[in-house]
Structure formats: structure tokens, C-alpha cells
Amino acid sequence: MSQGIQVFAVVALAVVLSGCPGNAADEMLDTAQLEEVQDNLENASKIYRDIIERYPDSPEAKTAQSRLDAIAR
């Protein structure tokens, strides 16, 4: 799968999950962590940044910032 298609798929998944009932921030965090484990750091970072932007006061945003910091090292 090309990088462009992967990015599109991840963003589409994040958009779909954000419209689902339940804890969207948690679901997005799960997706970002999966991307990170699969060494898709660019995609993971984008989702982490989305979490921080959409849910700035959430525990997931704190975790997302921590993971972004770790990726940047």
C-alpha cells in the first residue's frame, strides 16, 4: 500500500471513529498507538496531534503529547 493511501486510510478511520458514540479520544489513541507499533510514525504523529487539538484537556491528550515527545527523540 502506498504511503498516500495509508495516510488517507488512517485519517478516514480517525474521522469515522470521531463520529462514533463512546470515547472517541480513546479510540483515536488506540489507532495512533497501533500506527506507532507498525512503525508508521508519521501517521501516528498526525493522529496524536489531532487528539491534542480536539480533546486538549483529556487524559488522552496528555498521553498523545507524551508519545509525540518520545517519537521526536
pLDDT of the chain, 73 residues: tens digit per residue: 567 677 777 766 666 655 555 699 999 999 999 999 999 999 999 999 999 999 999 999 999 999 999 999 9
How much is the pLDDT for 17?
A: 58
The predicted pLDDT at position 15 comes to 65
Asked whether the beta carbons of 36 and 44 are under 8 A apart, the reply is yes
* pLDDT in the model for residue 6: 72
pLDDT at site 30: 97
What residue spans define the domains of the chain?
3-72
